[in-house]
Amino acid sequence: MTLTVVGVKIRLGLSWIFLAPFLVWSLAEGYFRTSYLGLTARTYWWMAIGGTVGLLGSLFFHEWSHACMAKRRGVSVPASTLFLFGGVPDTTPTPSDPKTESWIALVGPLASMALGIVWYLAFEIGYRANLPLAVLGIFNFLAFANGLVGGVNLLPAFPLDGGVLLRAWLRTRQQDIQQATRLASVVGSLCGFLLMMTGFLHIVNGRILIGIWWFLIGLFLRETAGTAYYHLVTQVMLASMAIRRVMTPNPITVSSDTSILRFVEDYFHRSFHHLYPVMEDSRLIGCVGPKQIAAIPREQWTELTTRDLAIPCSQDNTIDINSDTEAALSLMNKTGNSSLLVVDKGQLAGIVTLKDLLKFLTLKLHVKPSL
């Protein structure tokens, strides 16, 4: 599920397939049943569903506030994937200065706390207006949940917002974003371990639901702390290498007047590539691959040529030879293309594939494990 608000794309992480049912069950059989006695089982489940939907909306608002501040500070805003306590952006450049990074990180918890106050005011107004207890329970839960989201995000546990604030502060002290991220990730991993132990103690003492949730939160922090650091290491590696160093120069090309039948027999069945540049009088006009062939009935293979099937060159399938490998990976992630045409002043210079980039990263990680 992807929601786009004012140009900002936010999608639900796959973990919500398991988190959402567990959250609904926890609220229905735990929180609401013990906090609001005397209601029917059906009412508790409806309250749980309403609370879960409200929490998801609150998390969307939290992440949207980050994106709005980023845009205001001139930072590009990619799509983000929403997890339990906020979102993790897809490939995104780290703000060049710690002050900008701090503002972008801080606005999320502030937005959640402000939303929590709004829900609490709704609870107070609803109480005076004699709204049903089930509705008041949902309002009260959302006030508490938003305060919790804001508070947990202020923990100095990278990649939570508090951990990003810690990294921004370390950057002002060390002027080294990689070292600052490493230290912030260590703190984040330690915080995750402490939360996991807290959850374990709750479980031992019989508070099973609370314990499970704290354990899951701690596990999430430990996993994402390490992932966030190695993501930065990957960015540093990719940004340090020009695309010309990893591309395949002088790739196999196909003439625009080649029939599809000949293309399949003489090119595709012999070299097995996923992308072939289409040339017309030494001029690059596009590219063709197995996807385009699969869409054409076999009886038309002798009638049509690669010119008829070629995908025109565009910003989605070409990249300049002077770009770095990080830009190539970002474009692949954005468009879903696993291969790109590398051009030099409009002329074909080579092809770079996702496989090439992964090979490069593997070699770099083996040669320089200290990164």
Q: How do residues 75-116 score in pLDDT, each as one tens digit?
A: 776 666 676 655 666 545 566 688 888 898 899 999 999 999
Give CA–CA dist 339/42, Å, rounded. 53
Average pLDDT on 230-238 reads 70
Neighbour count for residue 189 (Cβ, 10 Å): 20
For residue 134, give Cα distances in angstroms to 45, 151, 209, 357.
Answer: 10, 26, 21, 54
Residues 6+ apart with CB under 8 A from 268: 276, 290, 293
With a cut of 60, say whether residue 2 has pLDDT above it: no
With a cut of 50, say whether residue 356 has pLDDT above it: yes
Give CA–CA dist 341/318, Å, rounded. 5
116 φ/ψ angles, rounded to the nearest 5 degrees? -65, -40
pLDDT at 183: 86
> How does the average pLDDT of the chain come out, rounded?
84
Average pLDDT on 323-351 reads 87
**Can you give the residue ranges of every domain in the chain?**
2-239, 243-367
Tallying the residues shown for the chain, one arrives at 371
Long-range contacts of 330-337 (CB under 8 A, 24+ apart): 330/91, 332/357, 333/90, 333/91, 334/78
The model's confidence at residue 361, banded by pLDDT at 50, 70 and 90, is confident
The domain defined by 243-367 carries CATH number 3.10.580.10: yes
Give CA–CA dist 273/351, Å, rounded. 11
- pTM comes to 0.66
Question: Among the listed ranges 28-42, 71-85, 114-128, which one has the minimum average pLDDT value?
Answer: 71-85
Give CA–CA dist 97/110, Å, rounded. 21
Residue from 327, 278, 274 nearest 304 by CA: 278
With a cut of 50, say whether residue 302 has pLDDT above it: yes
The model's confidence at residue 365, banded by pLDDT at 50, 70 and 90, is low
User: Which DSSP helix (H) or strand (E) runs through 32?
Assistant: helix 32-35
pLDDT at 90: 55
Give CA–CA dist 116/147, Å, rounded. 5
Give CA–CA dist 176/215, Å, rounded. 32
Give CA–CA dist 134/145, Å, rounded. 16
Residue 276 DSSP one-character state? E
pLDDT at 17: 80
Strands 347-353 and 8-12: unpaired
pLDDT at 106: 92
pLDDT at 325: 84
Q: How do residues 159-218 score in pLDDT, each as one tens digit?
A: 788 888 998 888 888 767 778 888 888 888 898 899 899 999 999 988 888 888 888 888
Residues 6+ apart with CB under 8 A from 302: 259, 260, 261
pLDDT at 86: 59
Strands 8-12 and 80-83: parallel
Residue from 94, 85, 76 nearest 184 by CA: 94
User: Which residue bears the tokens 């998390």?
Assistant: 59
pLDDT at 126: 95
Question: What order of strands is seen across the sheet that includes strand 283-288?
Answer: 254-255, 276-280, 283-288, 311-312
End-to-end Cα spacing for the chain = 35
The model's confidence at residue 371, banded by pLDDT at 50, 70 and 90, is very low
Give CA–CA dist 340/343, Å, rounded. 9
Q: What percent of the chain has pLDDT over 90?
A: 32
The model's confidence at residue 369, banded by pLDDT at 50, 70 and 90, is very low
pLDDT at 370: 43
